[in-house]
Amino acid sequence: EAQVTQNPRYLITVTGKKLTVTCSQNMNHEYMSWYRQDPGLGLRQIYYSMNVEVTDKGDVPEGYKVSRKEKRNFPLILESPSPNQTSLYFCASSLQSQGNYGYTFGSGTRLTVV
């Protein structure tokens, strides 16, 4: 089944403890992206990647890192999480960033930083 898989679905952590949220897609998509969703703010893009080894900042990149060493994986790294990073995170992928390909979203990761 074609899908974007995020892990974990739920995570509670303490301030300053490094964590990684994994994202993997099995559709050979070139484009991958991370969003955070907060009440009243909608979806805000954190980082995106046009292809392997190519990553760019989105609208809210501060406090996050990403890597794209292989096509299928696009992990989101929080080196020193803070409470303002408590949010619902989504990974998405698309065949390409432009053109009518639509985005496929993962099921989300709800992160709480205490």
**Which residues form the interface with another protein (CB under 8 A)?**
4, 31, 33, 35, 40-43, 45, 48, 59, 90, 92, 97-100, 102-108
Provide, rounded to whole angstroms, the least separation between the CB of residue 41 and another protein. 7
Judged by beta carbon, residue 39 or residue 114, the one nearer another protein is 39
CB count within 10 Å of CB 25 equals 22
Nearest to residue 89, comparing CAs of 9, 32, 4, 17? Answer: 9
Judged by beta carbon, residue 35 or residue 78, the one nearer another protein is 35
Provide, rounded to whole angstroms, the least separation between the CB of residue 65 and another protein. 19
Three-class DSSP category at 81: coil
Judged by beta carbon, residue 77 or residue 105, the one nearer another protein is 105
CB count within 10 Å of CB 69 equals 9
Query: From CA 85, how far away is CA 61, in angstroms rounded?
Result: 11
Provide, rounded to whole angstroms, the least separation between the CB of residue 82 and another protein. 23
